[in-house]
Amino acid sequence: MERNDADVQSPAVEWLGRVPYAEGLQRQETLMSRLLAGEEAEAILLLEHDPVFTIGRTLDRSSLGDPAALPAPLVEIGRGGKATWHGPGQLVGYPILRLVRYGQDLHAYLRALEQSLIDGARALGISADRRDGLTGVWVESRKLASIGVGARQWISQHGFAINICGALEGFAAITPCGIDGVTMTSLEREGAAMTVEEAAAHFTPYLQRSLAALRV
């Protein structure tokens, strides 16, 4: 039967403001538990974190440098990827979705998130794109956004982080995403000044459109 897009409900988008990392993680877990229990609780959480370093499931921890010297807490989480930093000036997105509704393909899902950020940045006049062999969103050789997703029983968690404004000083303490010599950039540095909350509103329709294209 042909799908009627008017009957497909988009995930709720929730702007949480600035929250500690543990609170954001708990909100993800609560929504995942509701979906696992059969509730209709899909959501895209948009927020800004207090300073924190995270690393995914990997035996290679070299991207952290000396963990004891990090200027903010370190959290090990259930996503792919190496070390990254979250903090003020960065928009973080956690889509909590039933991936069986979105093609049940983690690679395609990750690329859809990537494309939404590329499209949103280009709409601001920024020449955002992909780089061969590397995950994330780039402006030439400068990294604008990072993506690290996870799934449990085909329910997604974690997601993306795009740099919006401010010093983003935490990246200097690590090797971001394990890429030596990478330069991190932001919308502000590329000429598009806005607050994190304004960025959340700007990128929401691009996220919704990219995810809608995956619906089955």
- Using the CB atoms, write b or e for 8-17: b if 16+ within 10 Å: eeebebeebe
Per-residue tokens: 114: 């990537």
Active-site residue, selected from the candidate residues 44, 177, 184, 200 = 177
Rounded distance between C-alpha atoms, residue 57 and residue 204, angstroms: 28
The structure tokens listed for 50 are: 């207090």
Amino acid type, 125: G
Pair 122, 130: CB distance under 8 Å: no
Q: Which helix (H) or strand (E) covers residue 131, if one does?
A: strand 128-131
d(CA 10, CA 212): 8
Q: In the annotation, is 165 catalytic? A: no
> 132: how many CB neighbours lie within 10 A of its CB?
4
Contact by Cβ (8 Å): 142, 185: yes
Tokens representing 72?
């903010």
Q: Which residues contact 193 (CB under 8 A, 6 or more apart)?
A: 165, 187
As annotated, the active-site residues are 177
